[in-house]
Amino acid sequence: MPLILGIETSCDETAAAVVEDGRSVRSSIVATQHDLHEAYGGVVPEIASRAHLENLQPAITAALDEAGLTLQQLDAIAVGNRPGLIGSLLIGVSAAQSLAWSLDKPLIAIDHLQAHLYAVNFEFRISNFEFQDFPALGLVISGGHTSLYRMTSFTQLEPLGRTIDDAVGEAYDKAAVILGAGYPGGPALDRLAQQGDASNVEPLPRSMLEADSLDFSYSGLKTALLYRVRGHPIGRGKEATFQRSAEELSDTQRADLAAAFQGAAIGVLFDKLRRALQRYDDIRAILIGGGVCANSHLRKLAASFDLPVHLPPQQYCVDNAAMIAGMAYEFYQRRKFAALNVSAVATTGACGQDGRAI
């Protein structure tokens, strides 16, 4: 049973994990940087890169210790090399290259978005269930991505839609700032929304774009919330002022607006999934991955589909290295290894038949 070390540094989580046979998580270490970025209300790329430099070696050591393994016992080294913040990616890719070269082990480069969808496998790791419900729809929802795929396997993905502006997780972060909900924005706004009642306020807009579009747009929802909270701006540019601030709203009003935002943001995701199901009548399951799939409202609504909807366990929704090592097993079996000079790539494109970005 191959033992694969996974490394993940695409954004602001420094992670290392060991996964056996693509399913059994022997260890999973995640070092967060929330305290470093909280003052800025979002991730600062330079700060994230420096933190990865400090945190990666201790994370790898901790992952090996928790798994009860040495570096020599590993069968391969896997790293998320795309997409993400280029400075952050370079830290993880450089470390993986060095380990693979020094240990004479295969190097496996993994697309971060594909790995988020593979993480649904950890839902079945105890029962040893083998996921075989393909073709499936795959939805990746995170701070940087909102992407929809038609999947015929975990390595064969056809892009169907993506955000044309803000990702849903980014919209959550900005909405949390607008409402003064706290940081990290996604979990903070979710908690606030659970205290509110969306029916107490006028519904916020849901952008569906063209009638046949499977793309997403969240900038309008974010702006609508801003105007609802602070009023329409007076003037333009740097001279613009607002009629009021979020501090002038009661706690109940803020919670109700959070619930209205959450209903609109998550509602669009499921409306687009239903639109895709109307287009493709052979879909057997829906897979959802990424940090936003930890959202409580999304998990409740997932039961509204007639098809099975698979989500990762909560700890594997956010960026983690177990999903990188698990996904790498698919390529290890096929001997699809990366060159030692594999690049870090900030963006992702369409996926070819072997799952590689093209």
For residue 219, what is the domain's CATH number? 3.30.420.40
Residues 160 and 267 in one domain: yes
For residue 251, what pLDDT band results from cuts at 50, 70 and 90? very high
Do the beta carbons of residue 245 and residue 177 sit within 8 Å?
no
pLDDT of the residue at 40: 73
pLDDT of the residue at 351: 37
Listed residues 291, 307, 323: the one ending a domain: 307
Statement: residue 103 has pLDDT above 60: yes
239: containing domain: 136-307
Statement: residue 178 has pLDDT above 70: yes
Do the beta carbons of residue 150 and residue 275 sit within 8 Å?
no
pLDDT, greater one: 32 or 357: 32
Average pLDDT, the chain: 91
pLDDT of the residue at 356: 39
pLDDT of the residue at 183: 86
pLDDT of the residue at 129: 54
Residues 17 and 72 in one domain: yes
Do the beta carbons of residue 12 and residue 33 sit within 8 Å?
yes
Residues 117 and 151 in one domain: no
Average pLDDT over residues 12-20: 95
Give domain status of residue 343, yes or no: no
Here the tokens at position 128 are: 């040893």
Residues 153 and 22 in one domain: no
Residues 159 and 271 in one domain: yes
What DSSP assignment string belongs to 63-131? Answer: HHHHHT--GGG-SEEEEEEESS-HHHHHHHHHHHHHHHHHHT--EEEEEHHHHHHHGGGGGGTTTT---
For residue 352, what pLDDT band results from cuts at 50, 70 and 90? very low
Average pLDDT over residues 344-358: 53
Count of the separate structural domains present in the chain: 2
Percent of the chain exceeding pLDDT 90 equals: 80
pLDDT of the residue at 350: 37
286-326 pLDDT tens trace: 999 999 999 999 999 998 999 999 999 999 999 999 999 99
Statement: residue 128 has pLDDT above 50: no
Say if residue 46 is exposed, middle or buried (CB neighbours under 10 Å; 0-12, 13-18, 19+).
exposed
Residues 68 and 212 in one domain: no
30-50 pLDDT tens trace: 998 877 787 777 788 888 899
For residue 124, what pLDDT band results from cuts at 50, 70 and 90? low
Percent of the chain exceeding pLDDT 70 equals: 95
